Structure 1
Amino acid sequence: MKAVEFHLPQDVDKSFIVFRETGDFFPAPWHYHAHYEFVLVTKSTGRRMVGDHIGYFGEEDLVFMGSLLPHVWVNDPIYLERRADHKADALVLHFTDDFLGEDFMNIPEIENFRKVLKLSERGMTLLGDTRKKINALIKQMPDMNGLQRLSSLFLIFDIMSNTNEYELLASPRFVQNFHYGSSDRFKKITGYIMQNFDKDISLPEMAAVSSMGVTAFCNFFKEQFRVTFVEYLTTVRIGHACKLLSQNDRKVVEVAYECGFTNLANFNRQFKKLKSMTPSDYRRTLNI
């Protein structure tokens, strides 16, 4: 399933896009674009795929996604078969990091929101009061004048900058920039993992790459990633497996070995633990 580049129309007198998607179902294919994007579903149910994450959406579902992150929203059969008693409906906001000029995202007032933009590289589903507040603002934006709309977007930025009511979606494998602006040691570690995740990587090997002892490396890794090295490596491997399962018809056992797993049983167990489904079930969900 190859992602296509996709763009929404933008009015020449507006700096960012507010778009209502209404129809029997959501027609956009598996796609990506340079814009950051909010998707608020107001009517309809179904499943959404963001990077290698598959989740389910209903009314009031709100997701924020970073630039170039592949995604698709697929309606339930009642919509695809045109049996629903109402149209599917969603509101979409698109903006680029330079929509108010090249230096806008570098001004001091945006510092906290820049951290949110970094998180959005994996996609974020918003929860709780944060979702309620942002949904209320987005619903009003189509009827606002230009300055009101811009002011509401800034208010959304502020809400996003001061919340922990979210869940990250795609695995680290789908993050396209692995530098995170941190130390050379951090870059060496992430670079080595991405180049060698399909092989057997030992803790002593990683400690040597990072010029640290094994215990120091384990502590450093847990502090930086909030998970252990083994947990992270498994996530990267499963993320790559999802990519292979979506792009070719290799046997599951071939995918497992290509992603660095030494036996099929462990691959199936780890895949189900992270994705709540087997690799075969995952592949079937992609036949959309």
Structure 2
Amino acid sequence: MKAVEFHLPQDVDKSFIVFRETGDFFPAPWHYHAHYEFVLVTKSTGRRMIGDHIGYFDEGDLVFLGSLLPHVWVNDPVYLNRQADHKADALVIHFTNDFLGDDFMNIPEIENFRKVMKLAERGMSLKGETREKINEIIKKMPEMNGLHRLSSLFLIFDIMSNTTEYDLLASPRFVQNFHYDSSERFKKITGYIMENFDKDISLAEIASVGSMGVTAFCNFFKEQFRVTFVEYLTTVRIGHACKLLSQNDRNVVEVAYECGFNNLANFNRQFKKLKDMTPSDYRKTLNI
């Protein structure tokens, strides 16, 4: 399933895009684009695929997507068969990294939001009060112009910069285009993981790559990724498994061992924990 690259139109008198997507169902195919994107579903239900993550959406669902992250929203059959008693509807915001100039994202006031943009490379599902606040702002933006519209986007940036109410979606392994502005130590650690995730990696081994003791490494890793090393390694392995499963030339047992799992039961358990479905069901779901 190859993603289509979209080039999005923009009004010449506006620095970023706000639009309503409405119809019997959401028509866009599996695609990606250079823009960062907020998607608020106001009506309809279905499933969304973001990178290698498959989740379900209904009214009020809000996600923030990084640049070049493939995604698609697939409505439930009642919409696809045009049997729903209302239209599918969503509000969307698109902006580029340089939508206010080359240096805008480097100003001190935007530092915390830059970190959020890094996280968005995996896709972020917003929840709780954060989602409620941002949803109310987005609902009003189609009728806004000028500084009112721009200041509302800045308010969203501020809310995003000060929240922990989100879930990351695509796995690190799937996201091939991300780059971290960090130390050489950090790059060595992530590089080692990506090259050796299919093998057993002990804490002592990976800590030595960063020239740290095990305790210092665990603290360092949790601060950078907001998950433990073991949790991160599992997401990398499952992300690679999703890629192999999509190729249809390996059975589930082969995929499990190629991704570093020593037994099929553990692979199935970890896959279902992260994807809410079995590897076999995931392979069937890719036929969208």
Please classify the TM superposition score into its range, dividing by the shorter chain length: over 0.9
1:10 is matched with 10
Q: Distance in 2 between matches of 1:45 and 1:196?
A: 39
CA RMSD of aligned residues (A): 1.9
Q: Distance in 1 between matches of 2:213 and 2:192?
A: 17
Q: Distance in 2 between matches of 1:10 and 1:188?
A: 40
Q: Distance in 1 between matches of 2:75 and 2:154?
A: 31
Structure 1: segments with no counterpart, 5+ residues: none
Contact persistence 1:48–1:71 (CA under 8 A)? yes
Cα deviation, 1:13-60, whole Å, max 9, x if unaligned, reads 221111211111111111111110000111100111112221111111
| Matched position secondary structure for 2:246 | helix
Q: Which residues in structure 2 correspond to 1:201-280 (within 5 Å)?
A: 201-280=201-280
2:157 is matched with 157
Q: What is the CA distance between 1:249 and its match in structure 2?
A: 4.0
Q: Distance in 1 between matches of 2:192 and 2:205?
A: 10
Q: Distance in 1 between matches of 2:208 and 2:111?
A: 35
Q: Distance in 2 between matches of 1:269 and 1:243?
A: 18
Q: Distance in 1 between matches of 2:247 and 2:108?
A: 42
Instruction: Tell me if 1:20 matches 2:10.
Output: no
Q: Using a 3 Å threshold, how does the CA distance of structure 1 residues 280 and 98 change in structure 2: closer, same or farther?
A: same
Q: Distance in 2 between matches of 1:41 and 1:204?
A: 45
2:31 is matched with 31
Q: What is the CA distance between 1:111 and its match in structure 2?
A: 1.7
My pick for the range that moved more, 15-24 or 34-43, is 15-24
| Matched position secondary structure for 1:174 | coil
Contact persistence 1:178–1:191 (CA under 8 A)? no
Q: TM-score of the superposition, structure 2-length normalised?
A: 0.92
| Matched position secondary structure for 1:227 | coil
Contact persistence 1:178–1:190 (CA under 8 A)? no
Contact persistence 2:121–2:178 (CA under 8 A)? no
Q: Which residues in structure 2 correspond to 1:96-245 (within 5 Å)?
A: 96-176=96-176, 179-245=179-245
Q: Using a 3 Å threshold, how does the CA distance of structure 1 residues 99 and 179 change in structure 2: closer, same or farther?
A: closer
Equivalent position amino acid for 1:106 in 2? N
Structure 2: segments with no counterpart, 5+ residues: none
Contact persistence 1:10–1:17 (CA under 8 A)? yes
Q: Using a 3 Å threshold, how does the CA distance of structure 1 residues 134 and 87 change in structure 2: closer, same or farther?
A: same
Q: What is the CA distance between 1:154 and its match in structure 2?
A: 1.5
| Count of residue pairs brought into register by the alignment | 288
Contact persistence 2:51–2:174 (CA under 8 A)? yes
My pick for the range that moved more, 72-81 or 247-256, is 247-256
Equivalent position amino acid for 1:116 in 2? V
Contact persistence 2:174–2:243 (CA under 8 A)? no
Q: What is the CA distance between 1:223 and its match in structure 2?
A: 4.5
